[in-house]
């Protein structure tokens, strides 16, 4: 609703009757076969939502398990076996990236001007930077993170921040439909 309103105001101010005329990239997204498929199919959108949820579960389940271990939960579990689950997180992210593109092409003008969508994209970028910080800053020597090892304050801070960011990503994603 808010995204549509903002898009309408922006295009009305430009004096164009077709809102996509002011946004050729968004028009191109809408006109793709992907956009038409999602708009014209009765089952595509709910199937994509289910796949998006599965991808999110893989991503958040894996990242969450690692973050909680770093924070001290299940300290008897060595981090190396959890780290080997990271390909599942990347698969989940890939699923979400693909389904997210399908959602965007479904109605790009609404998504592009939707504040929760923009917040979600920013938060995903922050989550990626936070993961890079963790990997390069505190997770360099994986073999030292055996059972019973307590993580440093910095590692715990980064892991807590990761959990908060991903919870915010999920929350922003839920708000996309309601704005």
- Helices 86-106 + 33-40 axis angle, to 10: 80
**b (16+ CB within 10 A) / e for 86-110:** eebbeebbebbeebbebbbbbbbbb
Q: Are 8 and 18 in contact (CB under 8 A)?
A: no
Q: What angle do CA 112, 117, 118 make, to 5 degrees?
A: 75
- CA 166/CA 96 separation, integer angstroms: 13
pLDDT of residue 97: 97
Q: Look up the pTM and report it.
A: 0.84
Q: Are 20 and 30 in contact (CB under 8 A)?
A: yes
pLDDT of residue 144: 74
pLDDT of residue 76: 87
pLDDT of residue 4: 52
For 23, counting Cβ atoms within 10 Å of its Cβ (0-12 exposed, 13-18 middle, 19+ buried), the class is: buried
Nearest by Cα to 119 from 61, 156, 170: 170
pLDDT of residue 137: 81
pLDDT string in tens for the chain (179-residue length): 555 555 554 555 455 567 777 788 999 999 999 999 999 999 999 999 999 999 999 999 999 999 999 999 988 888 888 889 999 999 999 999 999 999 999 999 999 999 999 999 999 999 999 999 998 888 776 667 778 788 889 999 999 999 999 999 999 999 998 98
pLDDT of residue 16: 56
């Amino acid at each position: 609703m808010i995204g549509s309103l903002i898009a309408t105001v922006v295009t009305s101010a430009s004096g164009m009757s077709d809102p996509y005329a002011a946004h050729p990239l968004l028009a191109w997204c809408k006109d793709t076969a992907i956009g038409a498929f999602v708009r014209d199919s009765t089952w595509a959108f709910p199937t994509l939502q289910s796949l998006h949820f599965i991808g999110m579960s893989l991503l958040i389940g894996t990242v969450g398990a690692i973050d909680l271990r770093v924070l001290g939960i299940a300290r008897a579990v060595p981090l190396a076996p959890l780290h080997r689950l990271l390909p599942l997180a990347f698969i989940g992210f890939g699923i979400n990236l693909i389904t997210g593109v399908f959602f965007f092409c479904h109605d790009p003008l609404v998504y592009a001007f939707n504040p929760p969508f923009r917040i979600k994209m920013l938060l995903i970028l922050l989550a990626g930077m936070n993961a890079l910080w963790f990997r390069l800053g505190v997770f360099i020597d994986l073999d030292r993170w055996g059972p019973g090892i307590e993580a440093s304050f910095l590692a715990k801070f980064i892991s807590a921040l990761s959990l908060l960011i991903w919870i915010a990503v999920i929350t922003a994603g839920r708000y996309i439909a309601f704005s």
